Every structure is written in structure tokens, then in C-alpha cells.
A and B are shown apart, each in its own frame.
Chain A
């Protein structure tokens, strides 16, 4: 398990290749990447991500441990950034490896659903009109029920 909470950008290709190289006997590797999306007509200038140092790492570890116990997966990589990000920058990535793809896909989806609502990050959007905190969506909370 490799959990990283960092301000710096990461290289998706480099991280995915490195993760793949560390696996043995795994037939499937899934990666997901979250990107700062430009808001239609809203002129997004920056996305500021705040987090709770200490709790963030522990919360992600707990989510990853749960995924490891539920599916037949080999390993998990989570990188999540904080600080000021610009549109089109990568916010975070998840990678899972498994002998077969169904486990790798499901574990990655599970990780994403829980990272969204159970890891202590808060996003603030800065637009030409000012700045505002992104509100949590009911759909994100509902997504946890399926697990």
C-alpha cells in the first residue's frame, strides 16, 4: 500500500509504470485520475484544496485496508494533492492491481467513492466572481450505500 498526500504535482505515466513494475502475478491494473475541471461559463481560475494533516493519511489508509480485505487485489496506490491547483491539473490518482480485472475495477471505484466523502479534503473554487467552497453532493453520500 502506497498512500501519498502532497502539494507537488505527480507524473501519471511515471507513477503508473512504477506501480506496475512493483506487481508480481497481477493480470490487471486499473488507474483513475481526477482532474480540475474548468466550469462551463464560470471562468475557474483555481481550485484550492484544504486537508487535515494526520487524519487525511489515516483515513485513506483505513479505506485502502477495507478495499484490500474486500477484494482479491494485490496492491493499492493513492496520491492526493492539496494546495492551489489550476484547471486541467491532476488532483489525485488511484491505482489498483489484481489477478483479474473485476476486482481491480471494483476496488478502484470503492476507493474513489470513499475518498470523495470520507477523506478530509475540502475544495474551494476561485472564479472571476470570487471564491466559494464546493458543497458535498447527496449523490456522493448515496454512492456509499452500494458498498
Chain B
């Protein structure tokens, strides 16, 4: 699965993308897995209320299931326009 990071999430993680093998059933489980892996992920995911998530390029939420999902992205609230 590809895990993408944008804006300050990308800066805290230190890279734009990870390719990971995971058994996580939901986005929240994936976050917990990453958080336990390394301090920089813990720093990026410290406040989930400040984060948004997209699953296969659709805006989603932290309880979304990950079965057959190819791409998950984490980012702060969007500031387009």
C-alpha cells in the first residue's frame, strides 16, 4: 500500500511517500502502526483532529476500512482557492 503525506505532515515525516506492507484493518490501525514505528510518525500524527485522510483519493475518515485499498494519504485541512 502507498501511504502519502502532504504539507506539514510530509515535512514531519520527512518524505512524501512510503510503500508499506500492513495488516491494519482501518486507517486508525495504520496510524497506530506508524506511530509505534518511529518518533517522526508520532510527531506527524500527534493530533488526529488536525489531520484529514483520503482513501484511494477520496476524502474519508479514520474508521475507514483498508481492505483492497491501494493508496492512503494524510494531510492538514485543505487551503485551496
Number of chain A residues whose Cβ lies closer than 8 Å to a Cβ of chain B: 26
Cβ-defined contact, A52 with B80, below 8 A: no
* A133 at the B interface (CB under 8 A): yes
Number of chain B residues whose Cβ lies closer than 8 Å to a Cβ of chain A: 17
A-B contact count (CB 8 A): 70
Q: Which one of A52, A121, A124 contacts B54 once the chains associate, using CB atoms below 8 Å?
A: A52
Residues on B with C-beta less than 8 A from A133 are 7-8, 76, 79
Choose, from A14-22, A23-31, A66-74, A111-119, the stretch at the interface.
A111-119
Mark A87-98 against chain B: 1 for CB-CB distance below 8 A, else 0.
000011000000
Residues on A with C-beta less than 8 A from B78 are 116-122, 136
State how many angstroms separate the Cβ of B55 from the closest Cβ of chain A: 10
20 contacts between A and B (CB under 8 A): A50-B6, A52-B6, A52-B54, A52-B73, A55-B73, A116-B80, A116-B81, A117-B80, A119-B80, A120-B78, A121-B81, A122-B75, A122-B76, A123-B79, A123-B80, A124-B7, A133-B7, A133-B79, A135-B76, A135-B77
